[in-house]
Structure 1
């Protein structure tokens, strides 16, 4: 246990009566004034944001939305002028972020007028519009990091939303921003200069100053890493795979009384502590009871604004402070006040080193920054927050509007909100902590705060608290499988997961084992997610497989034993090159199984390693691949797999493409070309002789390269790449979709529509889900949508409106093609049998389980579907339709009874089929969709009937991956 610091010494330090830096903290003079010309480095905090964005792990969770309801006579021109003046004063608000020679940099863009779009919206519609705008992605490479939207509810009633990327601001920046915006607005409205003094510093000055101290900061980081050495992550939390792009948050809230808050403040004052310290101690106490642990680490926010020259600087000046507290042991039954003294000392120790960047500490910790299961050491945070203040403008009544994007930065966050209506809050990522455990922990935290506010001297054993369950132990072998390889612990652990229907392990002669699994359920776990689960479940050394690869089915011999000859392996053709690049960046040639983090790797090195390997080998690789695979052998295996995919794509038989020469009419931009629908569209366009530009992610570029195809590497979330891709394209066929990140889909559609200048037409491949749940019967083309719509259907409808609203002024015709389930002989389309309406039926037939369908009396129920080749013909044919046309692309309709009977036959299944009222509600689909306009191109060609395509999709694919 750390000895508590004497209270007089604590107060002396807190009041700043000594300027002696704490041991291990680098001394520094004031930040030099005067911005140097040219690009500047990123601060450590900015680099963390940039890397999250670069790795696809940032997104809206690092957006800062500020929404204010403004009632009164708003001067919109003055507001626009004030926003423009604000960005002119503070370069960071118009800075863009590029990179060169493996290093990111920042440089302000020229000062220009800030757009202030105005949209009419009822107060009831405002919440959805504010959420969509706040979640819309930023393009950090192009900038700026601030945008505005004004919703007009009535002539004297508006809601202003400012959305700022966290790379440009922190909480301490917002009061300065709000104050200056009010002054600039008043000056513009009155037609006079604002009279604000010029900023003494720009954020680039601060970034250069911090980077000039990197050597000393690195030494201090080593000392802080030693302070954290030996600590482990919170046992309650499950590991979240690094490839998870968005971490959804669940928020639990309970009111606290004003008396409780006053009691917490009085308790702190009696013990020389702030109210936040008391809240942090209560969080430690709740987690101590929940886990039984006495050595815990929590994170809190620290800042650099103690320096006078930084107090009015707008920019990211926060740092994550890990607070490690060795709490009193249960023996002797200590009081809460004793725990408070320990936490106070630990917090002061962390705050004394607030200038040491946490990312440097993580680098020095290496593999110790994560537990054995991959969970970060710092996955839990705590804070005392206050309600967001509104943006006040002279002459207007202002009221803050909450915009919650529902995203988590940590696996678990314990919060207290102090204000007119104080609350106890718990936010958690459901992937890291289950809801039942989170609710119980939240209740304990709220009760504990109330208890210590009235009597903090009672023993911890008499305070609220309970031991909460962690991960369940590995269960027995899956009852449906008894093959010899299931004796391996990894296979048993996989089969204990309810989402896994079969699993196998291949023990190679050299190197780690490789695991394979088939999965079921409404949401597909990735191989990385399954391997992360294995990390926490397998305690025996050497039992963790190198990777878990998902298959449609495990290849087995007639006697049921595993057939290793048909398993994808892990070739090591690129292993030497991978190890060489590891050595270049990390200083030593690693073993084939060397762990990336254990070798000193971190996020920036992952990006650099991927870029070097990609340039050297000509194969696609991303920084996220490095974080997920982690060892040279695993990366070499991935590269070999992608090289094989490229070879397969290059060897595509000419007979696969119908040779129908058509006069070239200009470049066609095709999005989603590496997917099942996009592959069919690409084949059709090439067959027609059209020049195609295919937008694909870098890791999939090799799948589309070929004669007549220009590859445009990019991503829906990368608006800059979309603008480059659409530039000069005469025709656009937009077939890509994220399926889940609807804000990204909407932003991508806007970017493509705004950037298209050709006359050849724009076709959006939408979904019949945009119709919602219409009245039973036939659904005509372009008929009205009927609620409720699924989130996916609503996103498709919103994308359609963006295109159709632009139709009157568009340079060429536009059309929307709505398609149902798409079937075809493509590996991506095979997933249509696993998930959604058909998934439960397919998985039940595959496992031989009984299948329950809706009662025949309920009327016809089944699936509308389209063959991918027919959809491709229909989409290209729709380019000639009149502007603004909505058409359907439906090959036919098949009842669930016929579909299930055919599945059972094709799979040789023993499933029995019955009808009853308890059938899945998702199967109650009584709609027929008309497709009159495209009836010609949709006419099935030989091999395009539903039984033939179903047989092709259930057949064992070459390579089984």
Structure 2
């Protein structure tokens, strides 16, 4: 028995797991104008399957294991047009049915156990006009196979038109030979000196800690099982941009592909996917000249892990990409399917393993089409797009005429309008990156002039432009004076008005002042989510200090380290965590619930906009927590910069979704209170339960919601009819 190649094994497994689908079909459409000889075409297609064993191979099972069965050639004396017939001829009137018929044919599902993996449809539109659609299953062919396929089909048609059999030299090898040779080349994984062992070692190191899923700006959450439905957006690059791409590539000693790859990684990073961006790309896998003229599934897939940390310049990023790509291409022999098995990432039927964004680049050879005697043949876009990946960027060199570009997208995740917007972002970004390659990638333009005008447009009636030079608590005091009886904070059934919140914060501030808290003093805050949190954070600022979150869910040794490293002046906690606070800090400890009794008046201001608001400790690159400080001016600038874009106001209800130990909570907390809105403190368990969070959003009529991409995807599956949310950040 002939085993399957490693690449074939994965497609066979997916076929068994998902059932027969059109996801791995390769449709090739050609519009043929002229006097086509249908009998000669039928015979030529038969010749093609005789020449290439892969086109007459089926994949039955024995004892649960698949194997390649090459169907025998028809016996002597059998006319070349018989044996097995893969051509369906269909007169088509009216013509307006063509698109629908092409789409249906492109969705043909192959029975891999018994059906040859090539079928052809000839749609007759008139005496001199036809459309030929070839549909191959990927298990028998790849993109690089289209050149020998169209070349050999043309040779056979020309011969049959003349009443002869094609006179071509026999192929030196067949796909089955490659399958056996592949296993011999790679060697045994039990042998440390084998090629497969050495290359696997490289990939284990290179892909260690790879993110399992990119956080893309999707329109909806993933389904449990991907449908494979997709769409395609063709686009062009401005000739001036393409000229800069080629010039920059030459200048930096990289390829055009590397420039495009770096730009795509930058786009995804800027859209929130992080700084660790794995991209997939195919390589021909035809490492021997004997394979060049063969139709078969040779292509391998590489994972190009792109590091964008540190906000490098685009020029510097190109050199990172070059090093990554050269390392990947030097270790391209390990089949992707085996790499997945060895690395064993978290598997799911709704996403591709190791990467979800593909980048392809070809030299345009396939686009040349086919030459048939007396026939004008032009390539035809085929409908019925399928999506194997979340996103797939495709580029084709058009021989000095620029790049042919397209974006294929999963319809499970993206609407066509969103995919078109991604393309526009990519075009803008590539223009900016190649125009100024020495600027940090984080500063390159992502918005066009019209969008910038919207962002920069002031919203009448908002006071943010008057906040410059003020501290956060001073702005809050002004807001409390304007709307003292409006609800400022709610937690379950409990509420505090702006007057009550300000007075409770004042009482705590006076007590902290008495303990010596002043400008740049750091005060630990160890509280659960609840109504005491807001007056405590504001009270620390009014006293002149900055708060240091000590989340009681953290390990005690971490809290002890933070308290010591920050050199806290005091610590505010609650009765439930009094013992924990005393264990991690040996200085003054105040209970938030016992702050009543002090003066209700605003303390005299002692800080400026340049004083610290908080010191939040992150994990740190060394494993030890590291403090990150932000000033009043930093936070105020965040809101003044975005003021005209969101139009926040007193009518808004904000959800405090994030822990106060996470910096995003600063945006949520002060976004509500500086604009006079209401802050809804989300209980810890509710924040982690999408259905409970959804219920809270409906009950509280939250209008501004802040989410991580993963949390939002879970929430997006739930009904939206009763929600009041107008902005998701």
Range into which the TM-score falls when normalised by the shorter chain: 0.5 to 0.7
Q: 3-state SS of the aligned residue for 1:266?
A: helix
Q: Give the structure 2 partner of residue 84 of structure 1.
A: 46
Alignment check: 8 A CA contact 2:280 2:358 kept: yes
Provide the C-alpha distance between the structure 2 equivalents of 1:172 and 1:374, rounded to a whole number of angstroms.
Answer: 25
1:236 to 207, 213, 216: 216
Deviations 1:593-643 (A, max 9, x none): xxxxxxxxxxxxxxxxxxxxxxxxxxxxxxxxxxxxxxxxxxxxxxxxxxx
Q: Give the structure 1 partner of residue 690 of structure 2.
A: 493
Provide the C-alpha distance between the structure 2 equivalents of 1:430 and 1:199, rounded to a whole number of angstroms.
Answer: 41
1:132 and 2:104 are equivalent in the alignment = yes
Q: Give the structure 2 partner of residue 109 of structure 1.
A: 71
| Bigger radius of gyration among the two | 2
Q: Give the structure 2 partner of residue 814 of structure 1.
A: none
Provide the C-alpha distance between the structure 2 equivalents of 1:357 and 1:473, rounded to a whole number of angstroms.
Answer: 47
Q: 3-state SS of the aligned residue for 1:425?
A: strand
Structure 1: gaps (5+ residues): 1-38, 477-485, 503-531, 539-547, 551-839, 850-961
Per the alignment, do residues 474 and 170 of structure 1 end up closer, same or farther by CA in structure 2, a change over 3 Å counting?
A: farther
Q: Give the structure 2 partner of residue 315 of structure 1.
A: 296
Provide the C-alpha distance between the structure 1 equivalents of 2:139 and 2:656, rounded to a whole number of angstroms.
Answer: 42
1:262, CA displacement in angstroms?
3.1
1:279, CA displacement in angstroms?
0.9
What does 1:545-694 correspond to in 2, within 5 Å?
A: none
Per the alignment, do residues 537 and 189 of structure 1 end up closer, same or farther by CA in structure 2, a change over 3 Å counting?
A: closer
Per the alignment, do residues 306 and 269 of structure 1 end up closer, same or farther by CA in structure 2, a change over 3 Å counting?
A: farther
1:401 to 376, 380, 399: 380
1:115, CA displacement in angstroms?
3.6
Q: 3-state SS of the aligned residue for 1:182?
A: helix
1:424, CA displacement in angstroms?
4.4
Alignment check: 8 A CA contact 1:99 1:105 kept: yes
Q: Give the structure 2 partner of residue 911 of structure 1.
A: none
What does 1:631-780 correspond to in 2, within 5 Å?
A: none
Per the alignment, do residues 104 and 381 of structure 1 end up closer, same or farther by CA in structure 2, a change over 3 Å counting?
A: same
Q: Give the structure 2 partner of residue 285 of structure 1.
A: 266
TM-score, L = length of structure 2: 0.57
Provide the C-alpha distance between the structure 2 equivalents of 1:204 and 1:399, rounded to a whole number of angstroms.
Answer: 33
Q: Give the structure 1 partner of residue 151 of structure 2.
A: 179
Provide the C-alpha distance between the structure 2 equivalents of 1:174 and 1:66, rounded to a whole number of angstroms.
Answer: 9
1:265, CA displacement in angstroms?
2.1
Alignment check: 8 A CA contact 1:67 1:161 kept: yes
Q: Give the structure 2 partner of residue 922 of structure 1.
A: none
What does 1:349-388 correspond to in 2, within 5 Å?
A: 349-367=327-345, 376-385=353-362, 386=364, 388=367
1:495, CA displacement in angstroms?
4.6
Q: 3-state SS of the aligned residue for 1:408?
A: coil
Per the alignment, do residues 326 and 370 of structure 1 end up closer, same or farther by CA in structure 2, a change over 3 Å counting?
A: farther
2:254 to 273, 285, 300: 273
Provide the C-alpha distance between the structure 1 equivalents of 2:689 and 2:173, rounded to a whole number of angstroms.
Answer: 60
Per the alignment, do residues 144 and 384 of structure 1 end up closer, same or farther by CA in structure 2, a change over 3 Å counting?
A: same
Per the alignment, do residues 142 and 274 of structure 1 end up closer, same or farther by CA in structure 2, a change over 3 Å counting?
A: same
Deviations 1:32-53 (A, max 9, x none): xxxxxxx311111111111121
Q: 3-state SS of the aligned residue for 2:170?
A: coil
1:45 and 2:21 are equivalent in the alignment = no
Deviations 1:11-47 (A, max 9, x none): xxxxxxxxxxxxxxxxxxxxxxxxxxxx311111111
Per the alignment, do residues 243 and 207 of structure 1 end up closer, same or farther by CA in structure 2, a change over 3 Å counting?
A: farther
1:487, CA displacement in angstroms?
9.1
Q: Give the structure 2 partner of residue 209 of structure 1.
A: 181
Provide the C-alpha distance between the structure 1 equivalents of 2:353 and 2:409, rounded to a whole number of angstroms.
Answer: 15
Q: Give the structure 1 partner of residue 319 of structure 2.
A: 341
1:261, CA displacement in angstroms?
2.4
Provide the C-alpha distance between the structure 2 equivalents of 1:237 and 1:209, rounded to a whole number of angstroms.
Answer: 43
Q: Give the structure 2 partner of residue 143 of structure 1.
A: 115
Per the alignment, do residues 362 and 376 of structure 1 end up closer, same or farther by CA in structure 2, a change over 3 Å counting?
A: same
1:166, CA displacement in angstroms?
0.7
1:396, CA displacement in angstroms?
0.7
Provide the C-alpha distance between the structure 2 equivalents of 1:47 and 1:264, rounded to a whole number of angstroms.
Answer: 38
Q: 3-state SS of the aligned residue for 2:143?
A: coil
Per the alignment, do residues 534 and 446 of structure 1 end up closer, same or farther by CA in structure 2, a change over 3 Å counting?
A: closer
Q: Give the structure 1 partner of residue 507 of structure 2.
A: none
1:200 and 2:200 are equivalent in the alignment = no
Per the alignment, do residues 308 and 253 of structure 1 end up closer, same or farther by CA in structure 2, a change over 3 Å counting?
A: closer
Alignment check: 8 A CA contact 1:152 1:159 kept: yes
Q: Give the structure 1 partner of residue 22 of structure 2.
A: 60
Provide the C-alpha distance between the structure 2 equivalents of 1:353 and 1:435, rounded to a whole number of angstroms.
Answer: 37
Alignment check: 8 A CA contact 2:214 2:273 kept: no
1:475, CA displacement in angstroms?
7.4
1:459, CA displacement in angstroms?
3.8
Q: 3-state SS of the aligned residue for 1:59?
A: coil
Alignment check: 8 A CA contact 1:72 1:156 kept: yes
1:367, CA displacement in angstroms?
3.6
Provide the C-alpha distance between the structure 2 equivalents of 1:187 and 1:337, rounded to a whole number of angstroms.
Answer: 53
Provide the C-alpha distance between the structure 2 equivalents of 1:188 and 1:537, rounded to a whole number of angstroms.
Answer: 59
Q: Give the structure 2 partner of residue 264 of structure 1.
A: 245
Provide the C-alpha distance between the structure 2 equivalents of 1:414 and 1:361, rounded to a whole number of angstroms.
Answer: 23
TM-score, L = length of structure 1: 0.44
Provide the C-alpha distance between the structure 2 equivalents of 1:130 and 1:60, rounded to a whole number of angstroms.
Answer: 13
Alignment check: 8 A CA contact 2:242 2:402 kept: no
Alignment check: 8 A CA contact 2:202 2:331 kept: no
Q: Give the structure 1 partner of residue 286 of structure 2.
A: 305
- With 382-391 and 73-82 compared, the bigger mean Cα shift is at 382-391
Alignment check: 8 A CA contact 2:278 2:355 kept: yes
RMSD, aligned α-carbons:
3.8
1:135, CA displacement in angstroms?
0.6
Per the alignment, do residues 487 and 336 of structure 1 end up closer, same or farther by CA in structure 2, a change over 3 Å counting?
A: closer
1:153, CA displacement in angstroms?
1.1
Provide the C-alpha distance between the structure 2 equivalents of 1:456 and 1:370, rounded to a whole number of angstroms.
Answer: 38
1:328, CA displacement in angstroms?
4.8
Provide the C-alpha distance between the structure 2 equivalents of 1:200 and 1:374, rounded to a whole number of angstroms.
Answer: 39
Provide the C-alpha distance between the structure 1 equivalents of 2:436 and 2:687, rounded to a whole number of angstroms.
Answer: 50
1:79, CA displacement in angstroms?
0.7
2:430 to 441, 449, 456: 449
Q: Give the structure 2 partner of residue 698 of structure 1.
A: none
Q: Give the structure 2 partner of residue 120 of structure 1.
A: 91
Provide the C-alpha distance between the structure 2 equivalents of 1:344 and 1:287, rounded to a whole number of angstroms.
Answer: 18
Structure with the bigger RCO (C-alpha within 8 Å, sep 6+) is 2
Q: 3-state SS of the aligned residue for 2:302?
A: strand
Per the alignment, do residues 129 and 473 of structure 1 end up closer, same or farther by CA in structure 2, a change over 3 Å counting?
A: farther
Alignment check: 8 A CA contact 1:282 1:448 kept: yes
Q: Give the structure 1 partner of residue 310 of structure 2.
A: 329
Deviations 1:174-228 (A, max 9, x none): 1111111111111111122322111111101111122333524652334312310
Per the alignment, do residues 156 and 120 of structure 1 end up closer, same or farther by CA in structure 2, a change over 3 Å counting?
A: same
Q: 3-state SS of the aligned residue for 2:26?
A: strand
Provide the C-alpha distance between the structure 2 equivalents of 1:148 and 1:496, rounded to a whole number of angstroms.
Answer: 53
Provide the C-alpha distance between the structure 1 equivalents of 2:655 and 2:69, rounded to a whole number of angstroms.
Answer: 52
Provide the C-alpha distance between the structure 1 equivalents of 2:268 and 2:221, rounded to a whole number of angstroms.
Answer: 20
Provide the C-alpha distance between the structure 2 equivalents of 1:473 and 1:381, rounded to a whole number of angstroms.
Answer: 36
Q: Give the structure 1 partner of residue 446 of structure 2.
A: 465
1:70, CA displacement in angstroms?
0.9
Alignment check: 8 A CA contact 1:236 1:433 kept: no
What does 1:518-557 correspond to in 2, within 5 Å?
A: none
1:399, CA displacement in angstroms?
0.9
